[in-house]
Amino acid sequence: MRKIPSNPFFWSLAVLLFPLLMEVTFSDFVREGEYNSRIGWSFIAALFITLANQRWVTALVLLPFMIGGLADIGYAYTFGGVFTTATIEAVVHTDSSEASEFFRAYASPQLILLYLLHWLIYALAIAFSRPVSSKGWQRTIHYMGILFVVVVIYRTTVMGKFHDTIPGVLGTMPSYYNGAISLEQEVELRRDMLENTQLQALLQSPAPQTHILIIGESLTRNHMGLYGYHRNTTPQLSALGDELVVYSDAISSHAQTQASLRVALTAASAEQGDEYREALSIIDLANLAGYKTWWISNQQPQRATIASISHQADVAHYISNDFKGVEVRRFDEYLLPALNNALADPAQQKVILIHMMGSHARYANRYPEAFHQFRNNNVIAYQPEPADSEIEAINGYDNSVLYTDHVVAEMIQTLKISPEANKSLLFFSDHGEEVYRSARIKGHSPDNITANMVEIPLIFWSNNPEKQSAMNQNSGRGFMLDDLFHLAGDLLQINSEAVDSNKSPLSDSYADNNNRRIYRLNYDQEIKGKKTLASQQ
């Protein structure tokens, strides 16, 4: 009977390489640094295991790689990618109820089996790793281990490079925290910027007016009947007919909420990175022009970037605070009383931003039972015969879209009967969602971008015929969400140097945006109409 290997380098390599094998298997792109760092850390782990010669030390040394490996395996299997700082940001700003939903939504027997295999390798490494008796192997482990310790210390302390020095999510986390900024700092920076800004914003007309901007969540237009989807998921909006302007070619700039809204809600463009912190937001612009502003949200309040913007509103209302404890099934219809209160406010000029829960995470939690209408296997999927679990997910998503249609239509009807002379409503989504339509993916991530993750609805209603006509004239031209600030500035009739009307579909001078780039990919050339693409980050 062949003897089980006891070389600590062999077992360290096994613990570190199994997650890499899963990344290679399920991802289209794995950085070369992942290979190098995992081999290097195998020598470092083997060095400590050899020097200590204690099982508890073996367990302790390999424990971070076992835990980090679970995250790497789960992300590779679920989303077909590897962790980036953008992914970590999305995780950091996920509250406990969302995290619970995530695990329930994505847990599967196959994924659990992979986790068990990884844990088994870790357990075997603890049981069988022993210092090697071969002098050659001893020297190799000692010399290479010390060399890689020096390399890691230099790259992390001197160069500040954690990514690709420490493997997987373990290296991505310090890279994220190294460049992150706390909510308190974000709020303070924005307040300081506003106090020192030289920019002016002047309202063109003193007439009473109300403008509502509704932010949908994880909604791709490709599952909306209004946009030609084979199921009638938008009966109430479709019934409004010519009262709506339905923009046919709008996309988000990113596939995550934070990254998308930090440029959609500010004057910063998608290419300007962290400059959103020094850029006016739509709320800032409206405040400067004399509007009374509201931020009404059905999402949790602890989201740094968005919270720093919402803090500037005259009224910031997170309806999650109205519930005792965590209410998972907190439907978007609960936003309506807060909207009614805002519309009833005596202010003459009002801007109301509403952030829906929409189709976030576990779709079945997003709608009441009355909207559980789609139950059959009449679905469009990436393969002719999708699995039952995939059909269930598509049906759940379509039901959530049906419910969003109902809530948005209710908001339009509520605005219609309000007494203001000039009023409008703009509905869009922060990003889209892939639900097994063009790839074996459910969700949204920077890896394996599909068109469904970024193709979003942009729907406009107004009682002003001129605005309606202007928007309709440009409704077939390319628009990216990072220009929303300029569209909002025109919609609110604000004169300001910060507003570029050439980037607004309400302007006669607006032209197609033919250079829309998402994670360095040209949308029109590399994403539109194609099934799936690896991230080029």
Looking at residue 443, its pLDDT comes to 86
Token pair, residue 281, equals 């937001």
C-alpha–C-alpha distance, residues 258 and 186, integer Å = 13
174 and 188 inside one domain: no
Question: 493-510, pLDDT tens digit by residue?
Answer: 999 999 999 999 999 999
Residues 232 and 332 in one domain: yes
Domain hosting 457: range is: 183-509
Owner of token pair 């070369």: 32
Phi, psi of 200 (to 5 degrees): -115, 155
* Whole-number CA gyration radius for the chain: 26
Domain assignment of residue 514, yes or no: no
Distances (CA, A) of 144 to 37, 150, 162: 13, 10, 20
Name 495's bridge partners.
Answer: 202
- Residue 523, domain member (yes or no): no
Tokens of 527: 């994403």
- Domain count across the chain: 2
Flag whether pLDDT at 76 surpasses 90: no
Percent with pLDDT over 90 in the chain: 57
Pair 274, 128 in one domain:
no
pLDDT at 28: 61
Are residues 478 and 421 part of one domain?
A: yes
Q: Is the model more confident about 454 or about 205?
A: 454
Indicate whether 3 belongs to any domain.
Answer: no
Number of H helices, E strands in the chain: 18, 14
In a domain, 521, yes or no: no
Decide which of 85 and 109 is more confident.
109
Please give the pLDDT value at position 428: 98
Residue 188 has pLDDT above 90, yes or no: no
Q: What is the mean pLDDT of residues 405-419?
A: 95
- Classify residue 387: in a domain, yes or no: yes
Determine the average pLDDT of the residues in 394-418: 96
Whether residue 147 lies inside any domain: the answer is yes
Residues 255 and 107 in one domain: no
pLDDT of residue 535: 35
Q: Report how far residue 78's alpha carbon sits from residue 483's, in angstroms, rounded to the nearest whole number.
A: 31
Do 168 and 187 lie in one domain? The reply is: no
**230 plus 362 within the same structural domain:** yes
> Buried b vs exposed e over 277-299: b needs ≥16 C-beta within 10 Å?
bebbbbbbbbbbbebbbbbbbbb
Residue 367 belongs to a domain with what CATH number? 3.40.720.10
| 478 & 437 share domain | yes
Tell whether 530 is covered by a domain: no
- Please indicate, yes or no, whether residues 162 and 226 belong to a single structural domain of this protein: no
**How many Cβ atoms are within 10 Å of 525's Cβ, its own excluded?**
13
Distance between CA 219 and CA 457 in Å, rounded?
A: 7
List, for residues 2-13, the tens digit of each pLDDT value. Answer: 577 789 999 999
Beta bridge partners of residue 458, listed in sequence order: 247, 428
Distance CA 200, CA 285 (A): 9
Which residue from 445, 526, 432, 511 is spatially nearest to 479, judged by alpha carbons? 511
Q: Can you say how many angstroms the Cα of residue 119 is from the centroid of all Cα atoms in its chain? A: 30
Domain shared by 169 and 68, yes or no = yes
Q: Return d(Cα 121, Cα 473) in angstroms, integer.
A: 62
Are 139 and 232 members of one domain? no
Could you read off the pLDDT of 204-249 as tens digits, one per residue?
888 899 999 999 999 999 999 999 999 999 999 999 999 999 999 9
In the chain, the percentage of residues whose pLDDT exceeds 70 is 90
> Which two structure tokens, joined as six digits, stand for 13?
């390599």
162, 95 Cβ separation under 8 angstroms:
no
pLDDT at residue number 536:
34
Q: Is the pLDDT of residue 531 over 60?
A: no
Q: Are residues 14 and 96 located together in one domain of the fold?
A: yes
Within 10 Å of residue 112's Cβ, how many Cβ atoms? 10
Residues 6+ apart with CB under 8 A from 391: 377, 379, 381
Q: Is residue 473 part of a domain?
A: yes
Q: Which of 161, 179, 197 is the last residue of a domain?
A: 179
Report whether pLDDT(83) > 80.
no
Helix-helix angle 8-26:32-52, to 10 degrees: 160
* DSSP line for 330-377: --GGGGHHHHHHHHHS--SEEEEEEE--TT-SSGGGGS-GGG----SS
The torsion angles phi and psi of 265, rounded to 5 degrees, stand at -90, 0
Of residues 446 and 127, more confidence is placed in: 127
Do you know the residue count of the chain?
537
Q: Say which DSSP state 420 is in.
A: -
